[in-house]
Copies of this chain bind each other. A is one copy, B any other.
Amino acid sequence: MLAQIHIILKNGVLDSQGKAVHHALTDLGFNEALDVRVGRYIELKLSDITEVEAEALVTDMCEKLLANTVIESYRFSLAPNQ
């Protein structure tokens, strides 16, 4: 099972990295960029467990370690191992 996890700052939390990237894009002449948000993307390979087990497990991992749920939100999708 492969879990693809997206972690991004909640709305209203200052995204300084996103602001810096937006500034750099504008400096390079990319004026079409209106807003940039930078988050983390985690690919997690899991041993042979069912999708239901994986869902509970990855939620637990996100809550306990991967995301800081005070300021970050997470979402994930599960796919069979490739």
Residues on A close to B: CB < 8 A? 6-8, 18, 21, 24-25, 28, 30-47, 49, 54, 57, 60-61, 64-66
Contacts and interface: CB of A to CB of B under 8 A. Distances in A.
Number of chain copies forming the complex = 2
Contacts of A33: 44-47, 61
Contacts of A46: 32-34
Given A36-B43, A40-B41, 8 more contacts: A24-B65, A28-B65, A33-B45, A33-B47, A35-B43, A36-B44, A37-B42, A37-B43
6 contacts: A25-B61, A33-B45, A37-B42, A38-B40, A38-B41, A39-B42
Contact of A41 (B30, B41, B45, B61): B41
